[in-house]
């Protein structure tokens, strides 16, 4: 199910997750520097990819340890005294939203890479992706029971998108890669902005005022089709990189007692 090309959707998926005000403010205001994308972009990327792989494919023991370490980080995330937005990183309802965004990203990536998913495979992907949420505080019963129930949840959730200026500024910096060294941001920022905006649904683009039109859409579609052809014909080890390496690295860290996050 994993393909390295799916990382092209990563920026858009982060934007989606942070498009609920409590989630966005929790990340933008977080004082947990060790897990900050701004301060440690490579470490944060590794941590996120490791979480995805262990949540999807880890054993129950591996997921328990992952939960313990993530919970320890999340307990340190809280609003500043007198802050205008209340949030808890361990809030099951917010974790359900984040897990739902991650699932939406997986199904979008698979569809773009391989075409429409058959019902049986789509159901299998959906149930597997429940682990994005249930690895943490979301109970199994809280995850929508099937894909139809998920669509109902998703339609309702899209009516509750809300981004204030603090989060919007953080997300615009992320989209333009302003958290990486300036020469790299200058070189890769425009492409990252184009791809990230292209993978976002109109509701999320409108939220941040991201410009898009038919000409950009046509160019984006051509880029995605070309990328999918290349990505699906690579040898498996290359096709699955860096996901395969992240799973290997996470399990090695667990064996050696090193932190995952």
Length of the chain: 261
Instruction: Write down the pLDDT at residue 36.
Output: 65
Among 255, 252, 257, 194, smallest CA distance to 46 is for 252
Asked if residue 242 has a cis previous peptide bond (ω within 30° of 0), the answer is yes
Domain ranges of the chain: 4-254
Q: Which residues of 198-229 are buried (b: 16+ CB within 10 A; e: fewer)?
A: bbbeeebbebbebeeeeeeeeebeeebeeebe
Is residue 29 classed as helix, strand or coil in its secondary structure?
Answer: coil
**Beta carbons of 111 and 121 less than 8 angstroms apart:** no
Structure tokens at 159: 């009516």
Helices 214-232 and 182-199 pack at an angle, to 10 degrees, of 100
Three-state SS for 128-184 is HHCHHHHCCCCCHHHCCCCHHHHHHHHHHHHCCCCCCHHHHHHHHHHHCCCCCCHHH
Instruction: Write down the pLDDT at residue 66.
Output: 95
Residue with tokens 């977080």: 30
Instruction: Write down the pLDDT at residue 184.
Output: 86
**Beta carbons of 140 and 130 less than 8 angstroms apart:** yes
**Nearest-5° angle of CA 34, CA 197, CA 121?**
85
Per-residue pLDDT in tens (0 to 9) along the chain, 261 residues: 688 899 999 999 999 999 999 999 999 887 766 556 776 788 888 999 999 999 999 999 999 999 999 999 888 787 887 778 888 888 999 999 999 999 999 999 999 999 999 999 999 999 999 999 999 999 999 999 999 999 999 999 999 999 999 999 999 999 999 988 888 889 999 999 999 999 999 999 999 999 999 999 999 999 999 999 999 999 999 999 999 999 999 999 999 999 988
C-alpha distance across the termini of the chain, in Å: 24
In this structure, is the dihedral angle defined by the CA atoms of residues 49, 135, 92 and 88, taken in order, positive or negative? Answer: negative
Distances in Å between the Cα of 122 and the Cα atoms of 107, 141, 161 are 8, 20, 26
Q: What does the pLDDT look like over 193-222, one tens digit per residue?
A: 999 999 999 999 999 999 999 999 999 999
Instruction: Write down the pLDDT at residue 43.
Output: 84
Instruction: Write down the pLDDT at residue 83.
Output: 76
Q: What does the pLDDT look like over 144-182, one tens digit per residue?
A: 999 999 999 999 999 999 999 999 999 999 999 998 888
Structure tokens at 58: 């880890």
Instruction: Write down the pLDDT at residue 39.
Output: 67
Among 168, 179, 200, smallest CA distance to 28 is for 168
Question: Count of CB atoms within 10 A of residue 142's CB?
Answer: 15
Structure tokens at 1: 């199910």
Instruction: Write down the pLDDT at residue 52.
Output: 96
């Amino acid at each position: 199910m994993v393909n390295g090309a799916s990382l092209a959707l990563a920026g858009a998926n982060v934007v989606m997750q942070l498009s609920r005000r409590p989630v966005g403010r929790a990340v933008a205001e977080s004082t947990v520097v060790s897990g900050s994308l701004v301060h440690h972009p490579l470490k944060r990327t590794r941590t996120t990819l490791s979480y995805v792989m262990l949540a999807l494919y880890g054993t129950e023991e591996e997921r328990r340890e992952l939960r313990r370490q993530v919970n320890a980080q999340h307990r340190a995330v809280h609003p500043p005294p007198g802050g205008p937005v209340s949030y808890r990183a361990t809030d099951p309802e917010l974790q359900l939203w984040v897990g739902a965004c991650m699932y939406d990203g997986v199904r979008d990536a698979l569809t773009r890479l391989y075409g429409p998913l058959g019902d049986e495979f789509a159901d299998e992907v959906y149930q597997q992706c429940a682990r994005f949420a249930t690895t943490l505080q979301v109970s199994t019963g809280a995850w929508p029971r099937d894909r139809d129930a998920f669509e109902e949840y998703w339609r309702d959730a899209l009516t509750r998108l809300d981004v204030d200026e603090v989060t919007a500024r953080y997300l615009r910096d992320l989209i333009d890669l302003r958290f990486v060294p300036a020469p790299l941001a200058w070189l890769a920022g425009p492409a990252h902005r184009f791809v990230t905006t292209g993978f976002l649904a109109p509701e999320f683009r409108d939220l941040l005022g991201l410009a898009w039109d038919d000409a950009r859409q046509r160019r984006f579609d051509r880029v995605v089709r070309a990328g999918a052809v290349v990505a699906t014909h690579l040898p498996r080890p290359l096709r699955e990189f860096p996901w395969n390496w992240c799973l290997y690295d996470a399990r090695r860290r667990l064996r050696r007692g090193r932190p995952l996050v």
